[in-house]
Amino acid sequence: MMTETTGRALTAMIADDEAPMRDLLRARLASVWPELKIVAEAANGVEAVALGEQHRPDIAFLDIRMPGMSGIEAARQLYQRSHIVFATAYDQYALDAFEQGALDYLLKPVSAERLATTCERVRNRMKVPFPAQPDIGQQLAKLTSMLEHRSQEKAKTAYLRWIQAQVGSSLRMVSTREVLFFQSDEKYTRVQTASAEFLIRKTLKELAEELDPDEFWRIHRSTLVRVDAIGEVARDLRGRQMLKIRNQPFELEVSRNHTYLFQQM
C-alpha cells in the first residue's frame, strides 16, 4: 500500500452522522490538504464500514458517536486498510485513551490549524509501512471494552429494569421502581404498583433471577417484595409474620423459610 501512496493522490472517507460536520471537515480538508481526495461520506457506523470496504480509502475520519455502530467499532473493522483519525466534540474518556495510545483525533468544530497539524502527522505516518502501529487493533479493542463498560455503568445494567405487561394492543412498560411486589397466581404473575395491577406471563422464578436481588426480596414461595416498599413486619394472631407495604393497604405473608430476613438484631 505504501508504494501506491507515493504514486497517486491519497484518498479519504468522512463519517459523521451530522451533515453540517461533514461539510465543515470537507471544506477544511480542501484548504489544508487540497490533494487529498474525498472518495466517500458516511452518515453512520454501518455505512462507514461498508463504504470503507468498497472504496478502501487511505484515511478514514470517524466520528465517535454515530447511530448503528460507533466510530470506534467501525475503526476495528477498517484499521487494517485505512489510517484512522477520530473526531469528537466531547468524550473525556476517549480523549485520554487517544492521547495514551497515540491515536490521531480531531476536536469538533475542527480548526484549520489543528487539522493542518494532524494532516502533517498522518502524512508522516503514511511514509512507513502500513499499518504504522501494529498494536492498534489491541488499542481499539481496549477502547471498545472501556467505553462499553462505562456506558454499562451509566445506562445499562445486567438486571431487569422494566416489566413488560400487555395492556390491550400496547406493551405497558412498568419501571421496577414503581413495583411494590410480585405475586404468583396459578397461571400469571401479578405485578402491583401504587396505582395499578398488571398480570404478566413471566414466572416468579424467572423474575427472581433477572431482578436485582438488592432491590427485591423473596419473602414467600409466591411473593417477591420491593425492599424500599416494606413498611413493617409484625406477627398476627396465628403467629405468622405479616409484612405491611408502606403507605399502602397491602399485607403479605412471610413464609417460615424467609423469616430470617426480618430477625431482630
Partner 1 sequence: MSASQINSGLDFLRDVFREASVLWWRFFDWLAVVEWRQLALTWFLAFMVCAPLNMPEPAFWYMIVSFGVKVLAGGKRKAELMAKEATTQANIATLERRLMEAQMAALQAQVEPHFLFNTLALIGQLIETDPPEAARVHAHLIEYLRSTLPQMRARDGGTLGKQVELSKAYLSIMQARMKERLNVRFEVPDFLGSAPFPPMMLQTLIENSIKHGLEPKIAGGTVTVRAYVDGVTLHVEVCDDGVGIDPHADDGIGLANIRERLQLLYGANAELVIQMPPSGGACALIKLPYKMMETA
DSSP string, 177-233: TTEEEEEE-SSSEEEEESS-EEEESS-HHHHHHHS-TTTEEEEETTEEEEGGGEEEE
Q: How many residues bind partner 1 (CB under 8 A)?
A: 44
Nearest alpha carbon to residue 106 among 125, 127, 93, 91: 91
Q: Which is nearer to partner 1, 67 or 129 (CB)?
A: 67
Task: Single out the residue of 37, 55, 125, 161 in contact with partner 1 (rule: CB under 8 A).
Answer: 161
What strands lie across the sheet with 241-245, from one edge to the other?
230-235, 241-245, 251-254
Task: Single out the residue of 65, 81, 190, 244 in contact with partner 1 (rule: CB under 8 A).
Answer: 65
Task: Single out the residue of 31, 53, 90, 197 in contact with partner 1 (rule: CB under 8 A).
Answer: 90
Under the binding rule (CB under 8 A), the answer on residue 68 touching partner 1 is yes
User: What's the grid cell of residue 187?
Assistant: 397461571
Task: Name residue 165's beta-bridge partners.
Answer: 172
Task: Single out the residue of 4, 100, 102, 109 in contact with partner 1 (rule: CB under 8 A).
Answer: 109
Under the binding rule (CB under 8 A), the answer on residue 26 touching partner 1 is no
Under the binding rule (CB under 8 A), the answer on residue 250 touching partner 1 is no
How many whole angstroms separate alpha carbon 103 and alpha carbon 59? 13
Under the binding rule (CB under 8 A), the answer on residue 67 touching partner 1 is yes
- What does the longest C-alpha to C-alpha distance in the chain come to? 94
Task: Single out the residue of 158, 214, 238, 260 in contact with partner 1 (rule: CB under 8 A).
Answer: 158
Under the binding rule (CB under 8 A), the answer on residue 157 touching partner 1 is yes
User: What's the grid cell of residue 88?
Assistant: 469528537
Under the binding rule (CB under 8 A), the answer on residue 170 touching partner 1 is yes
Footprint on this chain of partner 1 (rule: CB under 8 A): 17-21, 23-24, 27, 43-44, 46-47, 65, 67-68, 89-91, 108-109, 154-164, 167, 169-178, 194-195
